[in-house]
Amino acid sequence: MNSRNSKKNTEEKPETNLDGRKAAFIYTEEFAKYPYPAEHPFNTVRAQKVRELIHSMGLLSAENSKEVAPKAATRVELKKYHSARYLHALKTASEGKWDIEALNMGIGSGDCPIFKEMYNYSALACGASLKGAKLIIAGEADIAFNPSGGFHHAFPERAAGFCYLNDVALACLKLTENGKRVLYIDVDVHHGDGVADAFYQRDDVLTISFHENPKVLFPGTGFEDEIGSGDGQGYCVNVPLPAGTYDQAYMHAFNSIAVPLLKSYEPDVIVFELGADALASDPLAHLAITNNTYADIIDILMDLNKPILATGGGGYNVENTVRAWALAWSLFSNKADSYENIGLGGVMLESTDWQGGLRDRALAVTKQQKKAVEPVIEATIEKIKKTIFPIHNI
């Protein structure tokens, strides 16, 4: 779809009443049956723990909130993005039939090991994000959250970065097939390379990825000069952040770059990859933000009065990831004021580290940290303003 010549719909769109927004939490106990290998950093128990926490707080039975069980994506649905050859290799490998061709597709690598249920788990995760997209298209939900999704590193014929099938790319495609202009925003600490590649030459999906400097972190892509090509030139936005980036610096970059773009682009739907591995505690990365930054971003996105399909993503400190996603759901379901400050340490989170509620405590920022972070972020902002903003008439 090429929407450059009809970029904005001049007809006024009905506003959604935020207080009456319908929120759907997409989850099934089937996810708990398909764990990654025990030694693998990716822990599928996170979604289960989020569900348990928000259920215990009454956030699944709140007004205008509901839990929705997904079904696995069908082969026909998966072929919208992945090749038949790749799907066959992935399924047969999960059944114990693995060969060099599969390895060349990333199946059986250190990041993407073979385990019995890897195909079933991945197809179910895709089905959950597609269910969210379908609920939004049908007007049955204004916000859908799939904490078991966010596999943004998978390519049409390649597994990578713990990701076998790309649920977020499939969800974006489903939305565009139904005539929606999509804003894809990715705050996972790793560059959303699979999604960026899927829409690199299209202008009906604007991809914005905030991630740690790709010079030092997987997947090694996502520099400022990767801006899309052809019809998609200027519709791929990458914001690499230096190690040690803290809340205020992160939000300065977000407000300077993402906010003007999302207002100019006027999306019909927002797809939000909410990876929690940018948190200061994450063992696989080097940023220093708290979940208050995620909350601030959600507030901005909610204020746009657009449907939101949110997914999980990275997040390798399980406890802090669970709290971040529970906080996100409390905001999505418009119940944050009632619940975010309730003490949740001790028994509930199996820890005594922090009992201040869903929100993280503020972290001190050193002068050295500011000196290392601020000039780098300012330079990135200026680069993007020069290359991207003129294309959007900003």
CA distances (Å), 351 to each of 320, 347, 355, 356, in order?
Answer: 11, 7, 9, 12
Q: How far apart are alpha carbons 231 and 252 in whole angstroms?
A: 29
Amino acid letter for position 157: E
**DSSP assignment of 313-370, as one string?**
----SHHHHHHHHHHHHHHHTT-HHHHTTS--TBTTTTBSS--S-SSPPP----HHHH
Q: Closest Cα to residue 7, out of 261, 184, 226, 209?
A: 261
**Structure tokens of 318?**
């399980």
Residue 24 phi, psi dihedral angles, 5° rounding: -120, 125
CB atoms near residue 156 (< 10 Å):
17
Identify whether the C-beta of residue 75 lies closer than 8 Å to the C-beta of residue 348. no
- What are the DSSP calls for 31-51, one per residue? GGG-PPPTTSS--THHHHHHH
Counting beta carbons within 10 angstroms of the beta carbon of residue 35, is it exposed (0 to 12), middle (13 to 18) or buried (19 or more)?
Answer: middle
Q: Which of 55, 88, 152, 153 is catalytic?
A: 153
153 a catalytic residue? yes
Residues that are catalytic = 153
